[in-house]
Amino acid sequence: MQRIVISLDAMGGIDAPTSVVGAAFNVAKLNPRIHFLIFGSEDKVVPILQALSFPEERYDFVATKDVIQDHDKPLHAFKNGKESSMRKAIDAVREGLANACLSCGNTGALMVTAKMVLGTLPGVKRPAIAGAFPTYENKLIMLDMGANNECSESVIFQFALMGRCLAKVVLQIDNPSIAILNVGEEETKGRELEQKSYELLKSSGLNFIGYIEGHDIVKGKADVVVTDGFSGNLVLKASEGAINMFMTLLKEISKNSGLIALVGAFLLKRAFKKKLTRIDPNVNNGAMFIGLDGIVIKSHGSATTFGVTNAISLAYELANRDINAQITKEIKDLEERGIGLNFVEKIKQTSAKILGIST
């Protein structure tokens, strides 16, 4: 039985290393195929491993000297964090010691370091943060959720291709529908970025359905939603805030109201238990840095042990399915159909020839 090795930055996140090591222990109990490379401070990690009676044959621990802090700037973290738990976890993927890496730490530092260490898949201009976003009935793939504040239409097009591949693997959808996040559904709406991206996807032959507004994301009108990282991160954080506010209000009603309101809140919570679970950030925890030449999963910094457990499970699933090999194959198939990563350049060259402009 071939094992899947996950390298862990045990020191990233608000509740690290307790939440990270505890999550690894939970997954190890349920999945006999998984093995962990745990990187972190010896005086903090080892006592947790011992307290949990974590079977020694299920992990290798590597003591590291440094920790990347949340306030560290990405480039500074890359240049000066070579002995950090985050860097060592990424290095393990590059060296073939691990099938995937997971960190709850500084997002910018993780992305920059991973990109510099691992590089990108052939033809990919920029990696993106892609994750499963809950809808009324299922989930959709959304990207970019924070890696690239500014994008060109060619980058958005590549996001659509990679998101399409991820949806086929994770959501098991044969021909995922793709939409661009915008302030309206009309073709004339949006910035130049959205309009140029619209024209590219419209002429690509992909299952492109047009624009989607923020309030329609949760309705599941598309399987893949693409946008720049600035807008995507705003949607993500606003959604998390709305969910947290709703859950807080339910708790306040339960604690501070009369008997009738208390019974109502209890019945409401029971009635919507499964629905509420679907929108819990800890249930949906874990986003892929898609486009890198190696699997890197970012867990929310405030994730609980349960949340990190789900992120590790995602890392295992993507490694087990060899997601990057599938993305590479899908892109190659699209290239053969004339709509792969070089589609944008072909469009530009064709337009230039028509206009008599040298490229």
Question: Cβ of 237: how many Cβ atoms within 10 Å?
Answer: 12
- Which tokens hold the place of 5? 């090795």
pLDDT in tens, 217-264: 989 999 999 999 999 999 988 887 887 787 777 777 666 666 666 677
Domains with residue ranges and CATH for the chain: 1-119+292-321 (3.40.718.10), 128-284+331-359 (3.40.718.10)
Question: Cβ of 65: how many Cβ atoms within 10 Å?
Answer: 12
Question: Cβ of 95: how many Cβ atoms within 10 Å?
Answer: 10
pLDDT bucket at 40, cuts 50 / 70 / 90: very high
pLDDT bucket at 46, cuts 50 / 70 / 90: very high
**Predicted pLDDT at 330:** 80
* Single-letter residue type at 200: L
pLDDT in tens, 125-164: 899 999 988 888 888 999 989 999 999 998 999 999 999 9
Give every strand in the sheet of 100-103, ordered side by side: 59-63, 34-40, 4-9, 100-103, 295-298, 287-290, 128-134, 139-143, 224-226, 178-181, 208-212
**Predicted pLDDT at 272:** 66
**Predicted pLDDT at 274:** 63
Average pLDDT over residues 278-296: 89
Q: What is the 3-state secondary structure (H, E, C) of the chain?
A: CCCEEEEEECCCCCCCCHHHHHHHHHHHHHCCCEEEEEEECHHHHHHHHHHHCCCHHHEEEEECCECCCCCCCHHHHHHHCCCEHHHHHHHHHHCCCCCEEEECCCHHHHHHHHHHHHCECCCCCCCEEEEEEECCCCEEEEECCCCCCCCCHHHHHHHHHHHHHHHHHHCCCCCCCEEEECCCCCCCCCCHHHHHHHHHHHCCCCCEEEEECHHHHHHCCCCEEECCHHHHHHHHHHHHHHHHHHHHHHHHHHHHCCHHHHHHHHHHHHHCHHHHHHHCCCCCCCEEEECECCEEEECCCCCCHHHHHHHHHHHHHHHHCCHHHHHHHHHHHHHHCCCCCCHHHHHHHHHHHHHCCCC
**Predicted pLDDT at 245:** 83
**Predicted pLDDT at 6:** 98
- Which tokens hold the place of 183? 């302030």
Question: Cβ of 330: how many Cβ atoms within 10 Å?
Answer: 18
Environment class of residue 189 by beta-carbon count within 10 Å: exposed (0-12), middle (13-18) or buried (19+)?
middle
